[in-house]
Structure 1
Amino acid sequence: MSKMPGRPVLTVPEAEALALELFGAAGTAAPLPSDRDLNFRLTLTDGSRAVFKIFNTIEDEAYLECQSDAMDWAAKAGLPVPKVIGRATAKLKGKNHLVRLVSWLDGTPLGDASPITAQMEFDLGALLGRMDRAMEGFEHPAAPNHFPWDFANVADTVSKHIHAIPEARKPLVEMGLNLYHEHVAPKWDVLPKAIIHNDANDYNVLVGSAQEYPRPITGLLDFGDLVHSARVGNPAVAATYLALHREDPVDALCQVIKGYTSIFELSELELEVFYSLVCIRLSVSVTMSAVQRALEPDNEYLSISEKGAWAALEKLQHQHPRLVHYRLRDAAGYAPVPNSTLVVDWVRSHKDDFHPVILPARPGAPPVVFDFSVSSQEFDSEAINTPGVADKEIWDRTGNAVGIGRWDEPRLAYGGDQYATQSGERRTIHLGVDLFRPAGTPVQAPLSGTVHSFCAHHARFDYGGCLILEHEPEKGLRFWTLYGHLSHDSVKNLVVGKSVEAGDVVAYLGPFEENGGWVPHLHFQIIVDRLDLEATFPGVASPSQRDVWCSLSPSPVDMLGIPQSAVAPRSPHVQDLLERRNRSISSALSVSYDRKLHIVRGWMQYLYDAEGHAYLDAVNNVPHVGHSNPRVVKALHRQMRTLTTNTRYLHETILDFSERLVATLPESLEVCFFVNSGSEANDLALRLARAATGKQDTVVLEGGYHGNSTSLIGISPYKFDGHGGKGRPATTHVVPMPDSYRGPFKGMTAETGAAYARFVESAVAQGTCAAFIAESVPGVGGQIVPPPHYLRAAAEHVRKAGAVFIADEVQVGMGRPGSTFWGFELDDVIPDIVVMGKPIGNGHPLGVVVTTRAIANAFDNGMEYFNTFGGNPASCAVGLAVLNEVRDQHLQQNALEVGTHLLSGLAKLAQRHAIIGDVRGVGLVIG
């Protein structure tokens, strides 16, 4: 029973009868959530749908006409909003209620969509920008300007009802009130005004199907809060409700603003109040929920957003309002920090007046600028990732000069927990300049100022000793300089407020043990706005906020008197790289993902883009023992600088590699051929099979893929049956994938395996086949683990027909199955030929074919086999290093343990989610 005054009460059958009586709309009704009125979805007899609305008695008819006219105005502009189909009045329980029949919009409420992406936030902002642009010129005498949810009145609304909020939570609500009174109230009268929707909350916005990408915004509902108010309120309301779904709520605000301003401009004044509007909207939301819940404790709709609103307020209380303002300005295309340019211009105009901060040991020695960026080729991946590892190299290159670490440089060295952010993005962008000299080196002030604050930080990867000086070189211009990684003694005897002159020694560089665990150096940084922090300030920023923080801490290069090369160049934009690629590289070479990745470094299990974002590489099966594996890199480097030639000369490395490799295989597989890729290896395997059998045909699995050469396209249904393919060649025979889930035979049993193997038996029965080739665990086909005895039975059928079995281990082998080293061992079968590629070279172009002595002898028919680069000493050194790394690091056992854990967890998910039909894989052969 509704306890909200004036809200109608009607059963479903009564609603259906009323719709038929008033509008002749025969259909089936279903209740829709609403806090003030009574809404039903009406499915009509012709299958179409409409919304049947019975309004609260408190609703004013003129105001409803205003809403209807606004919807019509917006609809004529092409906006996805409802249209009024019919209007009437009904007397219910002695009271008159206005009634409307409104068109239905298809879609899912945004609040029920998962995930809500940044693109959806942007698109909603853009929709509201279109709406506010379209509504320019719309006026109506009944448009209210006194409404509890109107931003003009929300502070009064909260103040009136704050008693309903529990005492422990009142400070969160008061935060919104305080921001409103400080930032909004004084500016309210001069904010641009318009008639606005005022309620684009996450349940008034519709999105398309989850199968659509990007998932579109399909509708904006409920004009019931239409009001003449500050125009900026429209995007502010939408941003408020999107913030409920974010770990970093400000990210949502920024995306809405980016979308909105792509269509319609927000002024700097509007941006000054935006954050405060969001906070007060959250405050009024939780306050009114508390009030209404007391009236209607059973109305779940009232609490839909309350939990998220409280969570958003709790997160926002840790945000500095000025920093949020700078982020919003950046999102709208303004300079993030308004007075940053004043500081930069002043520093540039006085660049010849500053005193050196760190002096070289040899006067006049030019500084040495280092590249510590993600893409640096000056240091290996271990040194780039691990503070202190590059100590010797830095000092060797610096000598008596000053070493320089660049400003605005994306780095990977920041591994401490303090470099994580709310959103999960790690901070990687260096905001200062590093000056490398040994511990104990004096640090001098570049200009006069006063001691503002100081501290000896003890956490690893922190500043160690840290000093901040305050400078006011002329009236109205104030900024700060930060000095990090000082000795603790340097900051013990400092005095806040003490005057400092240019050239004064203010501190000394700290040793590794005191400076946070870094190679001794000074971190020097200019600060335009301290954000009220004392004795510390972020020295590293997240890539998504790079421009904001570079505005807060602009380049100190001019103040330090060092070369402009100490400013790290920005990496090319992804779109620019794509355009260059399209000009010189065939479009037949695809680029993965809708949001293209500019990858510049790989280190063990991670790939890194140009800004330092880390991606767990669970797709690429080439770096078998890890990207840039030190053992593999050293093996390649040692051999490349010693000898790289062809197999026409004797050399031990090829022998060491072949012997180690053969030792992992069944005894009958004893002869190796070395090539440069899996494709070359499979092509050679076909030649071996045809030479040994005197036949030409090949049996393959449906969906199979074995390489990119002409011969291999002809035995790869994944290619010849796909786009651009020319169909199956006459010499290729396709048998069903042994899929125990989707195939004709179900279950992981020996009977199922034998049933699928009979397809192979039929295919080879005509006696023209040279080989049956199959991935031991078909990968392109869907990581299908064949049922027991399938490969063993298939191999028996093949050999009886005078053909051979080729096991394609290009993706599967080398310990990845976990319980076995090779995929074919899972079925206890011995192939006649084994093909290896991808993982065996760990990224180096290397492929291998191993076969029996009899097949190898048959191939040796007088036509010499020679491969210019196949089997060269460098490649063999790499292959040997990979084998040794798999063995010594126990990676096969790791694949078994991790894979078992992962498959177990996926199986549990499948039990809870019907959409998961099958979980399959073995070891780390999962996909």
Structure 2
Amino acid sequence: MRHHYTPESIHQLAADHFGVVPAEVKPLAGEVDLNYRITDAESHRYTLKISAPGADRSAIDFEAAIMQHLAAKELPFQTPTPIGEIVELPEGRLLRLQSWVSGRMLDELNPRTKSLRHEWGRTAGRLSAALSDFSHPATPTVYKWNPASSSDYRHLAKFLSEEERELANFFWDRFERDALPKIKDLRYGINYQDAHEQNLLVDDEGHISGVIDFGDAMYAPTVCELAVTCAYAGMHLPDPLGGMAEVVRGYQEVFPLEEEEISVLFDLIIGRLLLTVATAAENLHREPENAYLQVSAAPAWALLRKLRTVPPELARVLFGGSVSPLKFTKPPHSIVALAGKQLMTMDLSVGSLDLGNNANFEDLGRFTTHIRRMLEDNDADFGIGGYGEVRPIYTTDAYAQEGNYGPRWRTTHLGLDVWGPAGTPVYAPFDGVVHSVAIDPNPGTYGPTIILEHEVNGQRFYTLYGHLSEDSLDKFGSRSTTGQVQAGDEIARFGADYENGGWPPHLHFQVMTDMLGYVGDFPGVAFPEEAETWLNICPDPLAFFNLSPYPFRFANSPIDSRGAKGSALLQKRKNQLGYGLSVSYAHPLHIVRGSKQYLYDTSGRRYLDTVNNVAHVGHEHPKVVEAIQRQAAVLNTNSRYLHENILAFAEELTATMPPGLSVVHFVNSGSEANELALRMCENWSGTRNMLAVEVGYHGNTGRTIDVSDYKFNGKGGQGAPPQTTVLPMPDVFRGLHQGSATPGKDYAAYAARAIVEAEGEGKKYGGFICESIMSCGGQIPLPKGYLKEVYASVRAHGGLCISDEVQVGVGRVGAHWWGFEGQGVVPDIVTIGKPLGNGHPLGAVVCTPEVAANFANGMEYFNTFGGNPVSCAAGRAVLDVVRSEGLMEHAHETGSYLKTLLHQLAEQHPLIGDVRGEGLFLGFELVRPTPAPAAAPHSLHRGGYHSAVKEAKYLKERMRELGFLMSTDGPDENVIKIKPPMCFDRKNADQLVGYLDRVFQEDKMRR
């Protein structure tokens, strides 16, 4: 039974023996010692420790010495230092006082990022380096938490369940066989050996700021320091080995490991976990009431179960272990007879223009046709390539896995592909034996596969042959491991698609220096963050084809694991492009492919795009791509010639509008559309004076900036020009009429007053321009009746009304084709841009015949590229896809579903002050209550709230790290906007909100 001192007795002990008079005494957790935090009247803090009865005085002296030694080192973190002398208490207890180390436990930190795990490893490395010159006569050499002594505690398996005992014995058997014989020859030293989450402290920025509790320090193999650290750092992770590898890299930067240490590290990590679970089981038997003694048991068991499937050799290489390169002369025989054949480089990389649209490979049948066409178009007998290639083929949902940093995919190809006719013979390159044969009948797999084992010049390695014909396995006995082969023996043939896993006929050839325990199979692709390791295990197999000198070059470069290419592009961009051009995110993305609601970077990582409303019907929609390609191959010229496309497109576009909006002027962008609309207003009224709405954005031309409060009152702006009157943004959440029963009329009254005041000064307004849902304003839906009231006032005094549909049109709002329809109005002019061409530069101005007639005053409006046949083909395809795929109805249904999920999320996280929008044009605003009074619209304090700007920025950046592209809007950039491609679906909504919930629980969102 543990003795618990009263606060009064602790108060007395501190005062009597150390002269510290506590104002507060707080008990702390501990396995052996009784620990208390003492705070005096001047807020100085200390740690008071009382040892268990019969404590070893020499062990306490050792702890004090190690802390004093570390205090003399220049470390980037704090460690406690002893204060005063050690005091002997009754029952053989020892009393001591230490300086307090400030910070909170790493255990409380959320999230644990890649940089944190890296710093965790560096901290352990610094401890190893700092203790390398420390010695003490009382240094313990035997202690139960030493991973190197794991098997000494195998007798504790009697406290485990049958399933637990089987798992533990599996690891202990391997430890005693593979690791134990090497331990005696490792480097030894004094280790801290307890760098877990409750002994490491972090500061407000999440950096490790302190190390406490030196009760486990001992003389042991130096690598045990890292093993203990990894054992804890790997817990609670989908990919524990990847997390441990990050810790190891940090450690090695400070304190490099020797090769033998790396070879036993994985088993030592498991050894520490075995000590954790076995000791916990014993403690549960002896002290069932002490919850602290069980704190690590459940996660340790979960981690052990995951690590059972990890090949130790893979862990060794991921931890930085060396891989011996294959050294031999060229093979006696080529694997495929390619001499004299017409060959081509087959580029299937993520950014490949040859591979083209995702539709070419997402269906394996179409992929077969595409590969055949590539060969035919190049008059090639065979295509060859793929080693180290980052491919998008494996980035569908079927291949997705949960990683430590969001969804991830194996995208880096580890073999070399030879594409050619089914039935092509395959030959053994060297003498060897059959390691294994297998058939995986599932689509997208290797299909029939042979793996050979070779030994050349004392080196053993393996060769894999995938996508074979089924009869290729007959001579070796299907699913057997028998048979010898000679160099030049025909061992197999290319399989047809119906038998080779569904792929176009080809050979997947791969070389492995270690089989890592696999039989009949071996990974053919790797996660990009592990690609360097896997490519070391699987060296370049091109030499096995006896093609030197090679008659071709590979177009794709090996994976850029350190982002050097992206950094170079960023610097080049800064030097060569306009200096006012920004990039998204603190760590810019190098995007090379898009499809549907996804974008792909150079590593093949797929990002869910929730902000790109330009790709209205989906990135690179095949129908739009095909329409552009077909028309571009025939004709692209200006609109002064007769052509069916421009008329058909105009007819189809106006068919989506209310009657009366029937004349179309085609342009190239939303900015051009609004520029033209403003000219129409001037022509109609004789004045450039316009009414515009606060934080509105209408384009980047001179006139459109003049009516864009977002620009002229933003950074670098000069304020409103004389011809523009700004109306308050009709924000019912935080605006001037928050809580009003009739906000539409209240906000519309500003326009009526402005018009009357202008007339009193002898001027008038030519028109009013407004988005039907305000985008840059923060996804602000207009209050009911707002446009009807404003339009009436403007028209009554001779002005025109422009509805800017650049962001929200073409069915995005779900209930209607155009956002203005939700307000029950018909504008005089409608401007359209971004969504109309699905990324192709295309815009339109649709107006009434009266406005068109007035504008046609003799000065021709001609736009060289506006309405060209290719652009019109793109626009027609977009309208067709919206109709044929029911995307407007889809936007309504999916948007309503997502909006419901966001409202539920807001109930859990008060940081979300408002959820708003229509269809797939949504937003949620992040705010914190503030006592500040309502202030000017552009103030961070509005409507009783403080804009949570830092939190919005953090959310955007974190979601990008997790694989979700989001962005901010609003006058304070505290509104998260959601306006994805219209094919965004319910599954995407569930996943998005699930990850949002995860980030909202992180420290920087909860403070």
TM-score with structure 1 setting the length: 0.91
Q: Which moved more, 1:580-589 or 1:260-269?
A: 580-589
Shift of 1:43: 5.1
Q: How does 1:229-248 map to 2 (within 5 A)?
A: 229-248=220-239
Post-superposition Cα deviations, 1:444-490, rounded to whole Å, max 9, x if no partner, equal 2222222222122211112221112222233x222222211122122
Q: Which moved more, 1:12-21 or 1:449-458?
A: 12-21
Shift of 1:243: 0.8
Cα distance in 1 for partners of 2:848, 2:911 equals 46
Aligned match of 1:177: 172
Structure 2 unaligned segments of length 5 or more: list them: 759-763, 923-976, 978-1007
Shift of 1:19: 4.6
Aligned match of 1:367: 343
Post-superposition Cα deviations, 1:231-265, rounded to whole Å, max 9, x if no partner, equal 22223222211211211110111111122222331
Q: Which moved more, 1:219-228 or 1:259-268?
A: 219-228
User: Conserved in 2, the CA contact under 8 Å of 1:162 and 1:287?
Assistant: yes
Shift of 1:632: 0.8
Cα distance in 2 for partners of 1:745, 1:300 equals 55
Aligned match of 2:532: 547
The reply to whether residue 739 of structure 1 matches residue 717 of structure 2 is: no
Cα distance in 2 for partners of 1:286, 1:241 equals 13
Give the alignment partner of residue 80 of structure 1, picking from 74, 77, 97: 77
The reply to whether residue 395 of structure 1 matches residue 372 of structure 2 is: yes
Cα distance in 1 for partners of 2:646, 2:741 equals 40
Supply the AA of the counterpart residue of 2:445: D
Helix, strand or coil for the counterpart of 2:915? coil
Q: How does 1:771-786 map to 2 (within 5 A)?
A: 771-786=767-782
Helix, strand or coil for the counterpart of 2:184? helix
Aligned match of 1:907: 903
User: Conserved in 2, the CA contact under 8 Å of 1:789 and 1:827?
Assistant: yes
Shift of 1:45: 4.3
Supply the AA of the counterpart residue of 1:290: A
Post-superposition Cα deviations, 1:588-639, rounded to whole Å, max 9, x if no partner, equal 3222223332211111221112222111111211111111111111111122
Cα gap change, 1:787/1:283 in structure 2, threshold over 3 Å: closer, same or farther? farther
Q: Which moved more, 1:301-310 or 1:881-890?
A: 301-310
Cα distance in 1 for partners of 2:909, 2:304 equals 32
Supply the AA of the counterpart residue of 1:404: I
Give the alignment partner of residue 434 of structure 1, picking from 396, 417, 425: 417
Shift of 1:29: 3.7
Cα distance in 1 for partners of 2:368, 2:784 equals 55
Aligned match of 1:452: 435
Shift of 1:503: 2.1
Post-superposition Cα deviations, 1:787-830, rounded to whole Å, max 9, x if no partner, equal 32233333334444544433222221111111222222222232
Aligned match of 1:866: 862
Helix, strand or coil for the counterpart of 2:348? coil
The reply to whether residue 376 of structure 1 matches residue 368 of structure 2 is: no
Cα gap change, 1:793/1:140 in structure 2, threshold over 3 Å: closer, same or farther? farther
RMSD between superposed Cα atoms in Å: 2.8
User: Conserved in 1, the CA contact under 8 Å of 2:526 and 2:534?
Assistant: yes
The reply to whether residue 462 of structure 1 matches residue 450 of structure 2 is: no
Give the alignment partner of residue 494 of structure 1, picking from 476, 483, 489: 476
Give the alignment partner of residue 510 of structure 1, picking from 485, 495, 509: 495
Aligned match of 1:414: 394
User: Conserved in 2, the CA contact under 8 Å of 1:765 and 1:801?
Assistant: no
Cα gap change, 1:801/1:96 in structure 2, threshold over 3 Å: closer, same or farther? farther
Aligned match of 2:807: 811
Helix, strand or coil for the counterpart of 2:450? strand
Post-superposition Cα deviations, 1:661-693, rounded to whole Å, max 9, x if no partner, equal 112122232232222222222233333233323
Post-superposition Cα deviations, 1:866-925, rounded to whole Å, max 9, x if no partner, equal 322222221121111111111111011111121122122222222233333322232111
Helix, strand or coil for the counterpart of 1:245? coil
Shift of 1:400: 6.9
Across the two proteins, how many residue pairs are aligned to each other?
Answer: 899
Cα gap change, 1:677/1:221 in structure 2, threshold over 3 Å: closer, same or farther? farther
Shift of 1:850: 2.0
Cα gap change, 1:401/1:744 in structure 2, threshold over 3 Å: closer, same or farther? same
Post-superposition Cα deviations, 1:73-108, rounded to whole Å, max 9, x if no partner, equal 44541422244374466787866441324324134x
Cα distance in 2 for partners of 1:121, 1:155 equals 28
Cα distance in 2 for partners of 1:744, 1:271 equals 65
Helix, strand or coil for the counterpart of 1:856? helix
Cα distance in 2 for partners of 1:191, 1:906 equals 55
Cα distance in 2 for partners of 1:764, 1:175 equals 84
User: Conserved in 1, the CA contact under 8 Å of 2:344 and 2:384?
Assistant: yes
Q: How does 1:675-754 map to 2 (within 5 A)?
A: 675-746=667-738, 751-754=742-745
User: Conserved in 2, the CA contact under 8 Å of 1:448 and 1:501?
Assistant: yes
Cα distance in 1 for partners of 2:889, 2:53 equals 71
Helix, strand or coil for the counterpart of 1:917? strand
Give the alignment partner of residue 575 of structure 2, picking from 566, 583, 586: 583
User: Conserved in 2, the CA contact under 8 Å of 1:450 and 1:499?
Assistant: yes
Post-superposition Cα deviations, 1:709-728, rounded to whole Å, max 9, x if no partner, equal 34333433433444333344
User: Conserved in 2, the CA contact under 8 Å of 1:192 and 1:230?
Assistant: yes
Q: Which moved more, 1:313-322 or 1:731-740?
A: 731-740
Cα gap change, 1:875/1:499 in structure 2, threshold over 3 Å: closer, same or farther? same
Cα distance in 1 for partners of 2:788, 2:514 equals 71
Shift of 1:26: 3.8
Q: How does 1:229-268 map to 2 (within 5 A)?
A: 229-268=220-259
User: Conserved in 1, the CA contact under 8 Å of 2:390 and 2:559?
Assistant: no
Aligned match of 1:355: 333
* Identical amino acids, percent of aligned pairs: 40
Give the alignment partner of residue 189 of structure 2, picking from 188, 194, 204: 194
Give the alignment partner of residue 848 of structure 2, picking from 847, 852, 860: 852
Cα gap change, 1:389/1:124 in structure 2, threshold over 3 Å: closer, same or farther? same
Q: Which moved more, 1:254-263 or 1:308-317?
A: 254-263
Cα gap change, 1:146/1:393 in structure 2, threshold over 3 Å: closer, same or farther? closer
Cα gap change, 1:744/1:416 in structure 2, threshold over 3 Å: closer, same or farther? closer
Supply the AA of the counterpart residue of 2:74: A
Post-superposition Cα deviations, 1:167-202, rounded to whole Å, max 9, x if no partner, equal 211133234423432343223233223333211112
Aligned match of 1:615: 607
Cα distance in 2 for partners of 1:296, 1:761 equals 79
Shift of 1:68: 4.2
User: Conserved in 2, the CA contact under 8 Å of 1:116 and 1:245?
Assistant: no
User: Conserved in 1, the CA contact under 8 Å of 2:360 and 2:370?
Assistant: no
Cα gap change, 1:26/1:449 in structure 2, threshold over 3 Å: closer, same or farther? closer
Aligned match of 1:606: 598
Aligned match of 1:535: 520
Supply the AA of the counterpart residue of 1:786: L
Helix, strand or coil for the counterpart of 1:766? helix
Cα gap change, 1:449/1:101 in structure 2, threshold over 3 Å: closer, same or farther? closer
Cα distance in 2 for partners of 1:265, 1:241 equals 20
User: Conserved in 1, the CA contact under 8 Å of 2:82 and 2:99?
Assistant: yes
The reply to whether residue 404 of structure 1 matches residue 401 of structure 2 is: no
Cα distance in 1 for partners of 2:748, 2:47 equals 58
Supply the AA of the counterpart residue of 2:771: E
User: Conserved in 2, the CA contact under 8 Å of 1:202 and 1:238?
Assistant: no
Cα gap change, 1:525/1:152 in structure 2, threshold over 3 Å: closer, same or farther? closer
Shift of 1:49: 4.8
Q: Which moved more, 1:239-248 or 1:884-893?
A: 239-248
User: Conserved in 1, the CA contact under 8 Å of 2:766 and 2:798?
Assistant: yes
Q: Which moved more, 1:63-72 or 1:872-881?
A: 63-72
Cα distance in 2 for partners of 1:479, 1:577 equals 39
Cα distance in 2 for partners of 1:863, 1:57 equals 101
Cα distance in 2 for partners of 1:407, 1:196 equals 43
Give the alignment partner of residue 656 of structure 1, picking from 648, 653, 659: 648
Shift of 1:729: 3.7
Post-superposition Cα deviations, 1:827-846, rounded to whole Å, max 9, x if no partner, equal 22323322211111111111
